[in-house]
Structure 1
Amino acid sequence: MGILRALNPFNTLRRFAKDRRGVSAVEFALIAPILITLYLGLAELTLAMMASRKASHLAASIGDLAAQSESLTNANMTDLFEIGDSIIAPFDGGAALKVRVTCVTMDKTDNKAKVIWSDPHIWTQKNTNDSPVVSAITTAQLPVGQSLIVTEVEYDYDSPLHSFLPAQSQFKDTFYHHPRNGSVVVRKTS
């Protein structure tokens, strides 16, 4: 009789349902992939937010340094662009980091912003009077006869984990600074 009871499939299922050994291991096996995925996703999100903040800080710093100068030479501009690689560290600068510094003045004749000079780094072109960042400047932002330093930054962030952000993310920021030592920052080509 005991043998028949042991072979009864319902009794086997009942014993299996009552057995609580290994429940923790099964629960862990079900929950662990979710927790690991959540952890890696948060780590990747944190790195992306750090890169975005560093790109904004870079634009503000370069614009502020340019606005403090009375004039900028080619060597000064090279130094400013090299500062960008230092600020964006530990993230890779190089070709992923584009910086453009432009000096704009408000024209007295037509009340439109005009480019005095523009220096791109890694960017393929300089700003012109028709550039969106220049044409968007109004007389409320820039009085007639005054000038403004416009600093644009684009950073192509490539995630080191590649699991949650498989494509590159691009962080952009633009800062506007009034010259501190005069009405305009002069650009010298020597």
Structure 2
Amino acid sequence: MTGIKNNRLFSLLRRFRSETRGIAAIEFAIAVPVLLGIYILALEFAEAIEVNKKLGRVAIQVGDLVAQQPKVTPGELDAIMSISGATLEPYRRSAPTITVTAIEVTNDSTPKAVVLWSRRYTDGVAERAEKPGAITEIPQALKTPGTFLVRSEASLGYQPIIAWSPAAKQGLHLAALDELDMLGERYYQQPRVSSIIPCGDC
């Protein structure tokens, strides 16, 4: 009896090993999640690069517009920064932070970069950024005594598409992707029409 059972078992094993029906379905079930994951990661990577490029354009536009003014007011700075933020469209998952800072390099033997005024704009809210008179850091190559600089910065906490919806984050266990590292760009420009750009009440 035992021999008969063993023969049946070996027969079933041989049949299982030689059975090829359903292999394609199994391969498909294994491959699809992997391919889908690669596709989503490629999509996110490409969009993050595009958003970072747009952030660079925002920083350049803001600095260029401010550098063309003989003087500015807080309202004018806020308008420039709010309009330039539209460059990021159609990305809407998080708001950029745009900062403009006027810097004067002292005539000391060891030049220092001193903040004359600074303004920050985030999601419709404008405020003073760095304190006037504070010492700030600039590249060593720009520390020419008596130089006036406009520093424009744009930064953004990038939110991936797959982690945008709270329900998606919870369902896919993607809380760690709530907000990735900040993307950001910074540029320095000199005034176009005057040696210095004052800003009252900044």
Give the TM bin, normalised by the shorter chain.
0.7 to 0.9
Counterpart Cα distance in 1 of 2:77 and 2:69 = 11
Q: What does residue 177 of structure 2 align with?
A: 166
- Say which of 119, 137, 159 aligns to 1:135: 137
Say which SS state the counterpart of residue 81 (structure 1) adopts.
helix
State the AA in 2 paired with 1:144.
P
Tell me, yes or no, if the aligned pair for 1:148 and 1:177 is still in contact at 8 Å: yes
Which AA in structure 1 matches 2:16?
F
In the aligned structure 2, how far is the partner of 1:46 from the partner of 1:175? 23
Kept in 1, the 8 Å contact 2:63–2:152? The answer is: yes
- 1:76 — aligned with what? 76
- Specify the alignment match of 1:11 in structure 2: 11
How many positions carry a matched residue from both structures?
182
Residue 182 of structure 1: aligned partner: 194
**Percent identity at matched positions?**
24
Measure how far apart 1:75 and its partner are.
3.5
2:86 maps to what in 1? 86
Match of 2:147 in 1: 146
Distance 1:121 1:187 in 2: 16
**Does 2:46 correspond to 1:32?**
no
TM-score computed with the length of structure 2 as normaliser:
0.77
- Distance change >3 Å, CA 188–CA 157, structure 1 → 2: same
Bigger shift: residues 110-119 or 168-177: 110-119
Q: Which amino acid aligns with 1:143?
A: T
Structure-2 separation of matches of 1:115 and 1:73: 16
**CA shift digits 1:165-187 (9 cap, x unpaired):** 61312112211111111211232
How far 1:30 sits from its partner (Å)?
A: 1.2
Do the aligned partners of 2:82 and 2:121 also contact (CA within 8 Å) in 1?
no
Structure 2 Cα separation of the partners of residues 93 and 19 of structure 1: 50
Q: TM-score with structure 1 length normalisation?
A: 0.82
CA RMSD of aligned residues (A): 2.6
User: Residues of 1 paired with 2:108 and 2:44: CA distance?
Assistant: 51
SS state at 2:150 partner? strand
Displacement of 1:124 in angstroms is 5.9
The CA deviation at 1:59 is: 0.9
- Report if the CA contact (8 A) 2:115-2:130 is conserved: yes
**Per-residue CA distance 1:8-39 (angstroms, 9 max, x = gap):** 22122212211222211111111111111111
> What SS class does the counterpart of residue 186 from structure 1 fall into?
coil
Shift of 1:113: 1.4
Map of 2:96 onto structure 1? 97
Question: 5+ residue gaps in structure 2?
Answer: 164-171
- Tell me how far 1:141 sits from its aligned partner: 0.7
Against the structure 1 CA distance between its residues 81 and 50, is the aligned structure 2 distance closer, same or farther, given a 3 Å change threshold?
same
1:103 is aligned with what amino acid? Answer: A
CA distance in 2, matches of 1:112, 1:154: 25
